[in-house]
Amino acid sequence: MADWVWLRCLFGPNLYRTHRSVEQSRPGRRVRRRFGWSYQPKSLERHTDSILGWASALWSLSYYSSPLLLCYLYRKGYICSSKLVPVSQYVGTALVCLLGVAFLRGWGRWRNPEYLQFVSVLHEARKNHTPSNKKKLACYDFDFSHWPADFSWKEASNPKLSKAGVSLLKPEPKHRGTADTVLNSMRMLPCHIISFLIAHSFGRRMLYPGSVGLLQKAMRPMLQQGQARLIEEFDGQRNKLVACDGNEIDAMFVDRRREGGRNGNTLVICCEGNAGFYEVGCMSTPLEGGYSVLGWNHPGFAGSTGVPFPQNEANAMDVVIQFAVHKLGFQLSDIMVYAWSIGGFTASWAAMSYPEIKALVLDASFDDLLPLALKVMPDSWRPLVTHTVRQYMNLNNAEQLCKYHGPILLIRRTKDEIITTTGPEDIMSNRGNDLLLKLLQFRYPKVMTDEGIRAVRHWLGATNHVEQASVYSSYEVDDDWCTSVMQSYQTERETMYPWSAQKYLRNFETTHCTPLPSTEFQDPWRLQRAPQGDRRATWKRGMKGMEQKPPVGICCR
């Protein structure tokens, strides 16, 4: 028995923190408060773990610098049998030494009562993953790869996908006359190979820097602190979700339904940016607003496995929604999706695939990745960049957004330096403008003519509320008239669209990475129905108003 326990200590995960709960009496009820402390390893375990940590960091550094390192060694003549044999001996000796260090670390853990208790709880939870065992396991923060799965995509009552993954919108097919022939395929083969290598090497890491292991190691103390805050201050529940592609998704759920607040029954699913983690990301905004919140990390980020390509991202988002519905008990009509920056891709995919959701909020997001990719790459690379993005990183947010007919709120950062194609001082180069325009053109094609587009662009060119109000008044917009026209249209056609262009987008005067205050986060605007007795009068008033020419582009008819 002792031998088995020692082996569990040898191959067990790193333990970072211990959480505990205490019951406190308050007038009329008892409240559970959580607190925690960092795991304190004994001297032997601490030193051996430090050595293994440095070895892991050196391996990561060698991995990312291996192309340059191999070129250097080749030029110096070190890649030959006479040189490689001694090097392999040194490497073998180092590996044997590291193996001995790992055995010593296991011995140090075996002599630590706190680690022994943890590894016993982990073994029992793996053997029998009951709610009581999961509750005991949740008292520890440790290497997430050892956490047992809490939900799988197969558990959904009617799973509509297979291991191939969920469906994505594909790029438009080529026009006739440019169809691939054998000769053309051979000519394009080098381009396909280079695109594949770019996408799977530095391209993916440039697009999602949060997936780089060295960055995660540097941020680990901050992530652990953020996770401890979510668990101990907000009673967060950590979960491992298994997507249809086999990736394990690290998720955190904060339940506010029992607190009796106005927003507690609404679940906000948060989609982070390309270097964002739920531990320190946009989850804090809806949390401060009193919502129930479900955050998750991209594939390859922190505890999540895999790589963040579009297909993997959509698969992860799908299992998160399935978990919210089938395990947490929320209806789709009670779920809002909130995304920051590149998280707009998974959020717009969710809105397209689950049109029953309550609403969608996109903060500092863009319409399409390609213009932003072309901005940072040399002009001579334009054909290659276009092919690579469309084949492997096609983040077509606007195209997906147009498939959703529910309430939408876009938040535009007026000093955004990331999603502008020129600079933060040029607000018209903000790709959030293009996202709004494409959405309006799809929903209101008869209104968004050349004149309507010019009016909306004029309004978008305003950098603050005063300038926007000036543009608004210059078109002599009558809000009461607009509302009566919208209500009459809604009464006649039973449509659920919000109608005013200024209701789709709100400005937030700051840069790209500034956290969004909870006061700026709100449900998208909805057109209120006219009272039952007034619907006929509203319809007549709206039809009379529609005989006049409406203010084009600002109030949509």
Q: d(Cα 233, Cα 293) in Å, to the nearest integer? A: 14
CA 519 – CA 293 distance, rounded (Å): 16
Question: How many angstroms separate the Cα of 366 from the Cα of each of 207, 284, 341, 398, 448?
Answer: 14, 22, 7, 8, 20
Instruction: Select from 139, 135, 104, 146 the least CA-distant residue to 118.
Output: 139
CA–CA dist 363, 340 (Å, integer): 5
Query: Measured between alpha carbons, how far is 150 from 470 in angstroms, rounded to an integer?
Result: 54
User: How far is Cα 287 from Cα 89, in angstroms, rounded to an integer?
Assistant: 55
Tell me the CA distances in angstroms from 310 to 152, 213, 220, 349, 416, one per residue in order.
20, 20, 25, 10, 24
- Chain centroid, CA 403 distance in Å: 20
3-state secondary structure of 503: helix
Contacts of 337 (CB under 8 A, 6+ apart): 268, 269, 271, 347, 350, 351, 357, 359, 360, 361
* Whole-number Cα distances in Å, 462 to 13, 215, 341, 423: 54, 38, 22, 16
Of 300, 319, 322, nearest to 309 by C-alpha is 300
Q: CA-based angle 160:166:169, to the nearest 5? A: 125
b/e sequence 153-179, b meaning 16+ C-beta within 10 Å: bebbeeeebeeebbebeeeeeeeeeee
Query: Can you tell me which residue has the tokens 């956290």?
Result: 515
Cα 175 to Cα 172, 180, 192, 384: the distances in Å are 9, 10, 19, 19
Q: Which letter does DSSP use for residue 523 in this model? A: P
* Helix ranges, 335-395 (H): 344-353, 369-376, 382-392
Q: How many CB atoms lie within 10 A of CB 214?
A: 13
Q: How many C-beta atoms surround the C-beta of residue 184 within 10 A?
A: 11
Query: What pLDDT does 404 receive?
Result: 95
DSSP character at residue 243: -
Token pair, residue 433, equals 């403008």
Nearest alpha-carbon partner for 499 in 488, 509, 515, 512: 488
Q: What is the H or E stretch that residue 55 is in? A: helix 43-64
* CB distance 44 to 173 below 8 Å: no
Average pLDDT by stretches of 10, the chain with 557 residues: 79 91 54 77 92 87 79 78 80 92 93 94 92 92 95 76 74 56 77 92 93 91 94 94 96 93 94 96 95 98 96 97 96 97 97 96 97 93 94 96 94 95 92 96 88 90 82 78 72 61 84 93 74 50 45 44
Can you give the pLDDT at residue 533?
Answer: 52
Quick one: angle between helices 113-127 and 81-110, nearest 10? Answer: 100
pTM of model > 0.75: yes
User: What is the distance between the alpha carbons of residues 263 and 257, in angstroms, rounded to a whole number?
Assistant: 8
Q: Is-contact 44 109, C-beta < 8 A?
A: no
In the three-class reduction of DSSP (H, G, I as helix; E, B as strand; rest coil), residue 189 is classed as: helix
Residue with tokens 């905004």: 285
Q: Two tokens at 138?
A: 């949740």
**Beta-bridge mates of residue 122:** none
> In whole angstroms, how large is the CA radius of gyration of the chain?
27
